């Protein structure tokens, strides 16, 4: 027979049997000894015993020692009344069935069911996920939770540490040495205060992301179930972290795309803005403004290669303190400065912090950091391997120039360089066009000047005209100095502002040219070498001034640039031309000097021509006057007047001549025209004059005088060169109430007799011209003049005078005389001469001689 008692003692169920109202334990098996404390259930036992109703207590927690350590266990504990045959309660059966595993499983479930979605849904931010993991793990899974995540380089990086108490760094350090395992009271943790720990990999999609560790100060804290729980948490956390990583990657990609889009649209707007910028300065402004906006730079500057290949000059800048800018107006292209290095090497320089500055450029670092800047970049402006300059951006913050930043900056520099090169080409083209236009203007000016200078003018008039022409087209003021009688004289001064002319004249009057001067007009005349003073500084004026007053006058003229060129003819300086610019006008260049020299060369030639012409005319005048009577003799009852107009330029002796002289008991008048002009004509005229005077004394009869004159001319046939001569000769005999005249003509225009009443008669004194034929046909004509009658003798220059209306002609002459019949002789001669001049617009084409003989009224 089975021993029931022994069996009860062995079952894995806690069993207690009590008897009587005192609940005396009849049986208590070992498990019951371990987990059921008899005293605690007294009231329950009373209740069951007295009522006879069973009672079940579910999942009673019991702390027991198992394997030497305290453990929480759960039991379903039942209380069953025990009846006797009379259905009377005589005792209570207490049994406890262990449900620890079930409870734990349910706990796990209840923990993880909300944990998983909570982790996944809480946030897509990695930091939130990690925080949540720590929050779940501490304190439920331990005192400390650590998450280490695997980095792209294979290392682990500690992301989260959560501790129930203060941070326990040592503990983390110790944990870091674990593999994924459970350690129950290892010596590794001995120093850290952790008695047990678990570590498990964080995984997602088959990839290990890192580790999740928990630790507890409690020894033997963890069971396999806890590890399972931790793994479950790790799985959820891994998925959440993966989602967060994906999200982060996506966000980064989106940010990068947004950034790239912003940059490229920024660069596009740079391109647009640059396409509108034409000058280097405008381009500099655009690049600086756009670059600063695009990159968030705090200061920027554009430098360009200056005319001197060994230095750069500042084009535009922003954000720099004034004193720094002043210092960096010009930057020598030598090593040891980031700007020079970048430009010379044609490679960008990136300086991300003050330390880097100090390390790489100790010399310029203080200036840079003094301005409050940390990071900087210097980008060379290069096009087709040509260095144009450099671009500087500086940042107050330290900065890591990302690949994108660098690409963006290099693109900006590239655009800037292209725009600058385009501007350079544009400028070159503009200058070429301006030069061409200037050249054209100059040639036009020279042509105009040559024409103007060749007009019939005296030397001085020509030089004055030169000065008038030069202002304002070539210069703002102009002075002409000439050599006269071994002295230098200021001949002409012209200024674009009339009031300055007075000032300039005042200057010349008070401070005449200094013959010892080492520069200026006198020096140029002496050396024959031109001077170009591209820029007249105040220092120049100070050096030039002879005293304070002189300096003040010089300053008042406001000269900015000047050139002095010699007026030279046949290696002889005849003067100097000074051209000066004032105010805003462009300064004179070498090209201008060459132009001025050409102008001076032409002017000098024109002036010299004028001089030669004047000399020639003077000689002609002298000679002509020697051939004409200085004064007409007094004839009783008669007034005589004469006019002689030299043809055109008057530089050649004409062949016309007249004379009035006393011969015997009467007076002779003669008017003649020798064919041709010049010296040989003059010689013949002289011969004619003296022959007529000589012959008139022998036999004053007109035909005789003219015949003898013909013979005389024929004797000089060689000299005549086929020339001939026309003449009119007459004798004046005073008679009662007037005069009687005998006249003979030899191919000469017949004289006109103007009666006092205004009638005009042609005196038929016709005959053969002289100097060709041995036997000219000549005859005497007698004519009487009464009171107020006038006889007008003239040469063909009168009737052949030509104007816009054609020839003056006999008819106009007769009409003129008819209208002026009552005019006194001298007035008549004067009016006729003036009329003829006016008719020919001041330029007689042929010589004109007029001789008027009038009987006094």
Binding site for other proteins (CB under 8 A): 673, 675-677, 722-724, 726, 746-749, 766-769, 772-773, 776-777, 796, 800, 807, 846
- Token reading at 541: 């004026």
Asked whether the beta carbons of 8 and 29 are under 8 A apart, the reply is: yes
Burial class (CB in 10 A: 0-12, 13-18, 19+), 638: buried
Alpha-carbon distances, residue 136 vs 57, 162, 386 (angstroms): 30, 10, 66
Using N-to-C axis directions, what is the helix angle for 590-627 and 403-454, rounded to 10°? 0
Instruction: Name which of 738 and 745 has its Cβ closer to other proteins.
Output: 745
**Which CB sits closer to other proteins, 476 or 846?**
846
Cα 644 to Cα 627: distance, rounded to the nearest angstrom: 11
Of 227 and 684, the one with the shorter C-beta distance to other proteins is 684
For other proteins, which is the closer residue by CB, 175 or 728?
728
Q: How far is the CB of 785 from other proteins (least distance, A)?
A: 23
Nearest distance from C-beta of residue 766 to other proteins, angstroms: 7
Phi, psi of 634 (to 5 degrees): -80, 130
Q: Which residue, 266 or 776, has its beta carbon nearer to other proteins?
A: 776
Is there a contact between 413 and 391 (Cβ–Cβ < 8 Å)? yes
Shortest distance, position 675 Cβ to other proteins, whole Å: 4
Minimum Å gap between C-beta 795 and other proteins is: 10
- State which H helix or E strand residue 247 sits in: helix 224-276
Closest approach, Cβ 768 to other proteins, in A, equals: 3
Q: How far is the CB of 495 from other proteins (least distance, A)?
A: 42
What's the chain's length in residues? 857
Nearer to other proteins, 491 or 681 (CB): 681
Residue nearer to other proteins on the CB measure, 522 or 769: 769
Q: How far is the CB of 486 from other proteins (least distance, A)?
A: 41
**To which H or E segment does residue 26 belong?**
strand 24-28
Q: Which of 765, 766, 767, 811 is nearest to 791 (CA)?
A: 765
What minimum distance in Å lies between the beta carbon of 679 and other proteins?
Answer: 15
Place of tokens 């010296």: 679
Structure tokens at 736: 């009662």
Distance from C-alpha of 200 to C-alpha of 238, rounded to nearest angstrom: 11
Nearer to other proteins, 470 or 706 (CB): 706
759 with 797: CB under 8 angstroms?
Answer: no
DSSP string, 156-212: EEEEEEEESSS--HHHHHHHTT--SSEEES-GGGTTTT--EEEEEEEEETTEEEEEE
Q: State the minimum distance, in angstroms, from the CB of residue 498 to other proteins.
A: 42
Distance of closest approach, residue 650 Cβ to other proteins, in angstroms: 15
C-alpha 448: how far from its chain's center? Answer: 34
The smaller minimum CB distance to other proteins, of residues 568 and 723, is found at: 723
Give the sheet arrangement for strand 781-786, strand by strand: 656-663, 666-674, 725-735, 738-746, 781-786
Residue 111 or 766: which CB sits closer to other proteins?
766
How far apart, in whole angstroms, are the C-alpha atoms of residue 653 and residue 682?
6
């Amino acid at each position: 027979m089975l021993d029931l008692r022994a069996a009860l003692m062995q079952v894995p169920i806690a069993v207690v049997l009590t008897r009587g109202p005192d609940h005396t334990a009849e049986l208590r098996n070992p498990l019951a000894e371990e987990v059921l404390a008899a005293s605690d259930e007294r009231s329950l036992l009373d209740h069951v015993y007295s009522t006879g109703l069973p009672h079940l207590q579910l999942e009673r927690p019991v702390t027991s020692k198992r394997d030497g350590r305290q453990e929480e266990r759960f039991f379903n504990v039942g209380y069953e009344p025990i009846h006797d045959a009379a259905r009377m309660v005589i005792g209570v059966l207490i049994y406890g069935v262990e449900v620890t595993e079930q409870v734990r499983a349910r706990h796990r479930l209840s923990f993880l069911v909300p944990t998983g979605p909570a982790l996944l849904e809480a946030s897509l931010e990695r930091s939130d996920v990690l925080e949540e993991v720590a929050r779940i793990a501490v304190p439920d899974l331990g005192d400390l939770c650590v998450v280490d995540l695997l980095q792209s380089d294979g290392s682990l990086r500690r992301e989260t540490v959560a501790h129930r108490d203060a941070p326990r760094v040592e503990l983390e350090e110790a944990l870091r040495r674990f593999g994924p395992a459970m350690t129950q009271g290892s010596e590794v943790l001995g120093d850290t205060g952790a008695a047990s720990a678990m570590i498990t990999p964080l995984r997602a999609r088959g990839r290990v992301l890192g580790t999740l560790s928990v630790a507890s100060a409690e020894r033997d804290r963890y069971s396999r179930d806890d590890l399972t729980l931790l793994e479950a948490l790790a799985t959820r956390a891994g998925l959440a972290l993966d989602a967060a990583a994906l999200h982060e990657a996506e966000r980064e990609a989106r940010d990068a795309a947004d950034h790239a889009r912003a940059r490229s649209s920024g660069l596009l707007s740079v391109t647009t803005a640059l396409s509108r910028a034409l000058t280097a300065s405008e381009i500099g402004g655009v690049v600086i403004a756009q670059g600063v906006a695009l990159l968030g730079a705090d200061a920027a500057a554009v430098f360009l290669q200056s005319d001197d290949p060994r230095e750069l000059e500042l084009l535009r800048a922003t954000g720099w303190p004034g004193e720094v800018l002043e210092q960096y107006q010009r930057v020598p292209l030598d090593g040891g400065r980031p700007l020079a290095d970048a430009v010379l090497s044609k490679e960008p320089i990136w300086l991300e912090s003050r330390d880097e500055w100090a390390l790489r450029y100790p010399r310029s670092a203080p200036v840079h950091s003094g301005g409050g800047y940390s990071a900087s970049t210097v980008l060379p402006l290069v096009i087709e391997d040509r260095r144009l300059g450099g671009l500087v951006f500086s940042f107050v913050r330290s900065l890591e120039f990302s690949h994108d930043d660098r690409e963006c900056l290099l693109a900006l520099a590239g655009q800037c360089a292209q725009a600058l090169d385009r501007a350079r080409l544009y400028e070159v083209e503009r200058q070429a066009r301006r030069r061409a236009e200037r050249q054209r203007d100059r040639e036009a000016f020279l042509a105009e000047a040559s024409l103007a200078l060749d007009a019939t003018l005296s030397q001085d008039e020509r030089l004055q005209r030169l000065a008038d022409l030069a202002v304002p087209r070539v210069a703002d003021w102009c002075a002409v100095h000439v050599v006269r009688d071994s002295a230098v004289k200021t001949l002409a001064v012209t200024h674009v502002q009339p009031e300055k002319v007075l000032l300039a004249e005042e200057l010349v009057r008070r401070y005449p040219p200094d013959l010892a001067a080492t520069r200026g007009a006198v020096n140029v005349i002496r050396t024959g070498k031109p001077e170009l003073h591209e820029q007249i500084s105040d220092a120049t004026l100070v050096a030039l001034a002879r005293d304070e007053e002189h300096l003040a006058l010089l300053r008042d003229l406001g000269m900015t640039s000047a050139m002095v060129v010699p007026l030279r003819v046949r290696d002889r300086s005849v003067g100097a031309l000074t051209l000066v610019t004032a105010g805003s006008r462009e300064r004179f260049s070498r090209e201008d000097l060459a132009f001025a020299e050409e102008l001076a060369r032409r002017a000098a030639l024109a002036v010299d021509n004028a001089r030669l012409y004047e000399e020639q005319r003077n000689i002609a005048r002298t000679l002509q006057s020697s051939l004409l009577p200085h004064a007409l003799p007094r004839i009783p009852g008669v007034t005589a007047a004469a006019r002689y107009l030299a043809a055109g330029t008057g530089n050649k002796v004409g062949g016309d001549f007249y004379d009035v002289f006393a011969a015997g008991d009467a007076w002779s008048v003669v008017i003649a025209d020798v064919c041709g002009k010049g010296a040989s004509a003059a010689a013949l005229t002289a011969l004619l004059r003296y022959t007529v005077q000589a012959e008139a004394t022998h036999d004053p009869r007109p035909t005789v005088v003219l015949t003898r004159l013909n013979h005389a001319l024929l004797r000089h046939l060689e000299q005549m060169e086929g020339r001939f001569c026309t003449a009119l000769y007459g004798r004046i005999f005073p008679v009662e109430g007037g005069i009687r005249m005998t006249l003979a003509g030899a191919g000469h225009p017949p004289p006109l007799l103007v009666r006092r009443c205004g009638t005009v008669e042609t005196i038929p004194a016709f005959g053969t011209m002289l100097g060709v034929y041995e036997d000219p046909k000549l005859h005497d004509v007698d004519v009487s003049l009464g009171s107020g009658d006038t006889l007008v003798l003239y040469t063909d220059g009168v009737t052949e005078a030509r104007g816009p209306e054609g020839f003056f002609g006999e008819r106009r002459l007769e009409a003129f005389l008819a209208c002026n019949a009552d005019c006194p002789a001298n007035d008549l001669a004067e009016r006729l001469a003036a009329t003829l001049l006016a008719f020919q617009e001041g330029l007689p084409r042929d010589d004109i001689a007029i001789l008027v003989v009038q009987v006094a009224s």
